[in-house]
Amino acid sequence: EEQRASKRPGEPRHFHAVLPPELWIHLAVVACGNRLEETLVMLKSAVLFSHRKIQFHIFTEDSLQSEFDKQLRQWPDSYTKKFEHRIYPITFSVGNSQEWKKLFKPCAAQRLFLPVILKDVDSLLYVDTDVLFLRPVDDIWKLLRQFNSTQLAAMAPEHEIPKIGWYSRFARHPFYGSAGVNSGVMLMNLTRIRSTQFKNSMGPTGLAWEDMLYPLYQKYKNAITWGDQDLLNIIFYFNPECLYVFPCQWNYRPDHCMYGSNCKEAEREGVSVLHGNRGVYHDDKQPTFRALYEAIRDFPFQDNLFQSMYYPLQLKFLETVHTLCGRIPQVFLKQIEKTMKRAYERHVIVHVGPNYMH
């Protein structure tokens, strides 16, 4: 069914309205604490560039629910018609809720329970709140088609160079591959996750996803530093055939440039998904990351993307050339530029149409 959704040139604008719900993109995020603004900027980046309609699944604590709803309803019509949103409370279905809540950041462990909670969703893209899309979400969604028959989730490596990677140097538990994987951007075939028996270190028999989470946590909780991400690394260490590994341009973090550029795909293709972990959107340590965050946050919805986002970004980037990440501005701008050109060409061709000479 994925194939049917490819947009043909000159298709009418109401394409979104007629798209059957099973062809929607499903995007989930878990937002607690002071992550409201950051999450809204992430959702904005998803809507700005996407073509297909998106269903947002927002998991958040009670105090933020009405604020999310209110803010999303204030976006202009031309954007709100590109998505629908559902807001969920934070819930953990197995084990002790308080323990899960305290694992790493507030409520981060919620993501482990998405296959169980979103029973009617077939596939899902989960992202951390500090992620920004620099090209259509449709493009990462298409990677689902590349899964072979045993793969049920996709993540990017935690590091490109094992000798400076965190897991390879410090982890006290099993992890995937030579450098571990980063779970900030995770593509999931939930149908497969729900129907698979996972190999594990608790015994000779496979366990269903939900039955495995709490015993696994109990076994490794004293060795875990990064919470739910560590648990995912342990799961895929025992089930490597279940993981599709996508290149670093789909989960590009300060680690990929702060020690010198070490993400070859991003140098070639540009950054597709930016992940500003370590709080870099909000401090002065990585001005390139902050510049992108602020450009998307402050972009007035109805404005021209080139004038109100791309050109200001280029200027901002000139101020960051003294940093290691700022030395490679083209890496950050390449996809945005491509995306804007595509949107602009389509806009002109589709809207102006063949009679614009008269």
Mark which of 246, 266, 297 sits at the end of a domain: 246
Question: pLDDT category, 230, cuts 50, 70, 90?
Answer: very high
Mean pLDDT over the full length of the chain: 90
- In-domain check, residue 1: no
Residues 235 and 297 in one domain: no
Residue range 52-71: average pLDDT? 97
Contact status, residue 227 vs residue 108, Cβ threshold 8 Å? yes
- In-domain check, residue 346: yes
Kindly report, residue by residue over 177-211, the tens digit of the pLDDT: 999 999 999 999 999 999 999 999 989 999 999 99
Mark which of 213, 228, 246 sits at the end of a domain: 246
Residues 297 and 198 in one domain: no
Number of structural domains found in the chain = 2
Give the pLDDT confidence score for residue 62 in this predicted structure: 94
Residues 238 and 259 in one domain: no
Residue 59 has pLDDT above 90, yes or no: yes
Residue 12 has pLDDT above 90, yes or no: no
List the domain range (segments joined by +) for residue 91: 22-246
Question: Which domain CATH number covers 143?
Answer: 3.90.550.10
- In-domain check, residue 5: no
- In-domain check, residue 156: yes
- In-domain check, residue 10: no
Residues 85 and 203 in one domain: yes
Residues 188 and 49 in one domain: yes
Kindly report, residue by residue over 298-357, the tens digit of the pLDDT: 999 988 888 999 999 999 999 999 999 999 999 999 999 998 888 778 766 655 555 544
CA-CA distance, 76 to 302, in Å (whole number)? 8
Residue range 271-283: average pLDDT? 96
- In-domain check, residue 87: yes
Mark which of 246, 267, 293 sits at the end of a domain: 246
Residue range 36-62: average pLDDT? 96
Pairs from 94-98 (Cβ < 8 Å, separation ≥ 24)? 94/210, 94/211, 94/213, 94/214, 95/213, 95/214, 95/217, 95/218
- In-domain check, residue 6: no
Residue 9 has pLDDT above 50, yes or no: no
Query: Per DSSP, what are the bridge partners of residue 197?
Result: 208
Residues 41 and 123 in one domain: yes
Indicate the angle between helix axes 329-347 and 287-298, nearest 10 degrees: 20
Residues 241 and 284 in one domain: no
Residues 86 and 155 in one domain: yes
CA-CA distance, 197 to 192, in Å (whole number)? 10
165 versus 317: the higher-pLDDT residue is 317
